[in-house]
Amino acid sequence: MTNRLAALTGRSEEFGGIVGPALRHALMGIADTTLRDLFGEPGPGVALLAVGGYGRGEPVLGSDLDLVLLHDGRRDDVTGIADTLWYPLWDAGIGLDHSVRTVDEAVAVADDDLKAALGLLTARPIAGDRVLVGSLLERVRARWRARSPHRLPELADLVADRARRHGDVAFLLEPDLKQARGGLRDVHALAALATAWAAETPPARVLEAHRVLLDARGEIRRLAHGRRQDRLLLQDQAAVAAALGYPDQLALAHATADAGRTISWTWDTTWYRVSAGLRSSARRRPGPPVRRPLDQDVVEQDGEAQLARDADPTRDPALVLRAAAAAARAGIPIGRYALNRLAREAPPMPAPWPDAARQALVALLATGPAMIGAMEALDQVGLLVRLLPEWEAVRSRPQRNPYHRFTVDRHLLETAAAAAASTREVDRPDLLLLGALLHDIGKGRPGDHTDVGVKIVHDLAPRLGLPPADADVLVTMVRQHLLLIEAATRRDIDDPATIEAVARAAGSPRILGLLHALTEADALATGPTAWSPWKARLVGDLVERAMAVHSGGRAPCPPALTDRQRALLTLPDDYHVAVNPLPDDSMFEIVVVAPDRPGLLAATTGVLAVNRLDVHRASARGENGRALLQAAVASTHDGGPSAGKLRGDLLRVLAGRVDLDARIAGREQAYAAARRRLPPAPPKIIFDDSGSDTVVEIRTPDRAGVLFRMVRALTDAGLGVRTAIVATIGLDVVNAFYVREADGSTVGRPGRREEVANRVLAALG
């Protein structure tokens, strides 16, 4: 028995090689056998029940045993029976959630405690008086059904609260498979609706999604050696995937994301119908249901979009999209009966699409956020992939980058929803919405996703029925969907070469305007750090200047020094440091005026790093032996930076009294410990001579002080850094440095670029 108990803790090798349902069956078998041996044969009036995960047949290594010792209230040896059960389990180090109750006490607890009620709904007898157990389960389930008008809304609130606290299984890089939206708890909630006779038993596809999550959770606990751990951590995903037979960790992430979507969508649609039924029952409206027309062959009935009685999906290929658009406009879901009928009867879309079908797709996309639910409904019954076979490769595909918060397909829908807000600002809103829906359609296939996407859309646009001129615009939008954000955040938008390159790549004012709206929508759909007033202003200024080029003018060329910069350079202080708030939240301009000297920019960026200031852009200018450094920074702590402290730190660094390397190394250790990383890619260095300066673009994993190390390496290589532009993308930084040789020339002589690159790589370690 000791060996069996040790196996339950997850700290033994007893179950090596056993995974999935077989592992759960083995754990249940050992636990049941052990508990029956401990319980013995005490006679009638007492029984042992498994509740919670153990009762549902979902044990994992190291999980608690949730037990109820049930008695009839007439036995005087219940305490002794309990002791013979609990103490051996405690001595073996097994977690135990236990209680001793009569039937009346257990029913009363279930009445007051929702979680206790849910546990008892799936309780399983292990040993003892089966009649006593049957009495309890019958009463608990009968009261659950009788009190469902009050208990089920309480259950829905619990599901919503978990979603707020834990996020979505489908979209998180490290989802909690038990508590997050679309996780195991939501399957339990669906089963509770069925027990209340308010909904059907969860369908087979939900049960299969449930198994996927259970299997993964079992391996998570094995890797955690029985510790409480339900999150699928990045560091564990390769091992979990291998144990469960997935080709790689991406396939595992895809499977868990798809499972989460299936479960969450089923909960949403099921609870919508249950809650509508509860409201309808409360109102007790007599008479037949009311059917309100929404669109051709689409009506609203009982708060859902349904097909009209005489609708014929077999003759109307646009009906699928028209029904989805009507539902989205009305803010209601597509009814399950209508969905199933469309999935069963809708014909393949002809090629090219009829104008009515393309217009219905655009109308659906134009509803904005309401469109997402309708598209998800089409996707869940296979209609979306039938309409757009290219969707299959992006469906539920995780993006292995914390910069993105959504799977690829959901990101495309979110981008289209965000783009709907800009349809009045462009002259072709239909192309904006289609471009937003398709801009990342190349992801999930081998090769660069933009190049692949261009090929896909080149073939898809004619199939959608777009004329050649519109198809060309859509292809260009996909090809250049990163143009504005990359130019604005990785290049100097004051450089005429940057402005002319953007105008040339866009090709026309129309496409430039469409790309402007798409860029904002794409960033808003990516994640909270992808868009900000700062980036909006940079992109807006760049578009305005590129538009001027298309109007026949020259690219705006600002003066070498503005009046303000000339005034700063004439300040009497030897060393002047100022901090000026910028319009963006938590953003500041740092101004440093000092005698010009080698290494001044590197010292300044180092001081900013040790003061926990993230540099977004920095420039260095000089005149008459004086240097002016300006940096736009984001503060990571309350209160903003102190000009006095920055000045003092800079003077100490320049005097050699501060070891910047040691200070930044300490910050690096704390920074790395606070971030869980994907395997880092090696640094990448690109040289660009398209403008008057050489641009050195460096992409590398982000870490504290990385800008300081880069600037110092370039300075040590004998280069003058005029402008530094910093972009953070997930766990990487992409820094662009505008540099010149000491004689003012570009970095072009043989072997020089390799020398500079080697210095940078050495500095980055």
175 and 206 within one domain: yes
Distance between CA atoms of residues 341 and 306, nearest Å: 10
pLDDT attached to residue 733: 83
Q: Looking at 12-21, 364-373, 426-435, 679-688, which range is the least confident one?
A: 12-21
Query: Which of residues 89, 121, 146 is at a domain's end?
Result: 146
125 and 159 within one domain: no
Longest dimension (CA), the chain: 101
CATH of the domain at 225: 1.20.120.330
751 and 617 within one domain: yes
User: How do residues 82-130 score in pLDDT, each as one tens digit?
Assistant: 999 999 988 888 888 999 999 999 999 999 999 999 999 999 999 999 9
pLDDT attached to residue 660: 84
pLDDT attached to residue 678: 53
325: in domain: no
Tell me the percentage of the chain whose pLDDT exceeds 70. 93
pLDDT attached to residue 285: 57
658 and 570 within one domain: yes
The DSSP-derived string for 99-149 is EEEEHHHHHHHHHH-HHHHHHHHT-EEEEE-HHHHHHHHHHHHHHHHHTHH
**Mean pLDDT in residue range 743-755:** 89
In the predicted model, is pLDDT for residue 9 greater than 70? no
587 and 704 within one domain: yes
Round the average pLDDT of the chain to a whole number and report it.
Answer: 90
Distance between CA atoms of residues 148 and 150, nearest Å: 5
Tell me the percentage of the chain whose pLDDT exceeds 90. 69
The DSSP-derived string for 324-339 is HHHHHHHT-PBPHHHH
Residue 210 belongs to domain spanning: 150-283
pLDDT confidence tier of residue 494, bands split at 50, 70 and 90: confident
333: in domain: no
Distance between CA atoms of residues 143 and 196, nearest Å: 9
In the predicted model, is pLDDT for residue 495 greater than 90? no
Query: Which of residues 90, 120, 146 is at a domain's end?
Result: 146
CATH of the domain at 29: 1.10.357.170
619: in domain: yes
Instruction: Classify 201 as helix, strand or coil.
Output: coil
pLDDT confidence tier of residue 674, bands split at 50, 70 and 90: very low
**Mean pLDDT in residue range 505-529:** 95
**Mean pLDDT in residue range 322-338:** 96
The 3 state secondary structure assigned to 38-57 is HHCCCCCCEEEEECHHHHHC
- Name residue, tokens 């397909």: 409
User: How do residues 397-414 score in pLDDT, each as one tens digit?
Assistant: 998 777 788 999 999 999
Angle, helices 130-146 vs 103-112, to 10°: value is 30
Distance between CA atoms of residues 119 and 106, nearest Å: 11
Q: Looking at 256-260, 633-637, 675-679, which range is the least confident one?
A: 675-679
618: in domain: yes
In the predicted model, is pLDDT for residue 501 greater than 90? yes
Spatial contact of 353 and 463, defined as CB atoms under 8 Å apart: yes
67: in domain: yes
Cβ-count burial 644-655 (b if 16+ within 10 Å, e if not):
eebbebbbebbe
510: in domain: yes
Spatial CB neighbours of 485, under 8 Å, sequence gap ≥ 6: 519, 522, 523, 535, 539
**pTM for this prediction:** 0.86
201: in domain: yes
Total domain count, the chain: 4
- Name residue, tokens 């993964």: 216
Query: Which of residues 79, 113, 146 is at a domain's end?
Result: 146
User: How do residues 201-223 score in pLDDT, each as one tens digit?
Assistant: 999 999 999 999 999 999 999 88
Distance between CA atoms of residues 179 and 186, nearest Å: 8
pLDDT attached to residue 132: 96
CATH of the domain at 400: 1.10.3210
Q: Which strands form 587-595's sheet, in the order they lie side by side?
A: 576-581, 587-595, 626-635, 613-623, 719-729, 732-741, 694-701, 684-688
In terms of DSSP bridges, do strands 719-729 and 298-301 run parallel, antiparallel, or are they unpaired?
Answer: unpaired
606 and 742 within one domain: yes
168 and 154 within one domain: yes
pLDDT attached to residue 706: 86
Beta bridge partners of 720: 740
91 and 154 within one domain: no
**Mean pLDDT in residue range 304-311:** 95
**Mean pLDDT in residue range 609-625:** 86
pLDDT confidence tier of residue 623, bands split at 50, 70 and 90: confident
In the predicted model, is pLDDT for residue 14 greater than 80? no
User: How do residues 572-595 score in pLDDT, each as one tens digit?
Assistant: 888 999 999 887 767 899 999 999
**Mean pLDDT in residue range 161-172:** 94
487 and 610 within one domain: no
18: in domain: yes
What are 689's two structure tokens?
């001579």
589 and 444 within one domain: no
pLDDT attached to residue 597: 87
Distance between CA atoms of residues 487 and 538, nearest Å: 9
644 and 604 within one domain: yes
488 and 407 within one domain: yes
pLDDT attached to residue 723: 87
Instruction: Classify 308 as helix, strand or coil.
Output: coil
pLDDT attached to residue 638: 67
In the predicted model, is pLDDT for residue 759 greater than 50? yes
Instruction: Classify 295 as helix, strand or coil.
Output: strand
In the predicted model, is pLDDT for residue 26 greater than 80? yes
pLDDT attached to residue 265: 96
In the predicted model, is pLDDT for residue 193 greater than 90? yes
pLDDT attached to residue 661: 83
In the predicted model, is pLDDT for residue 60 greater than 70? yes
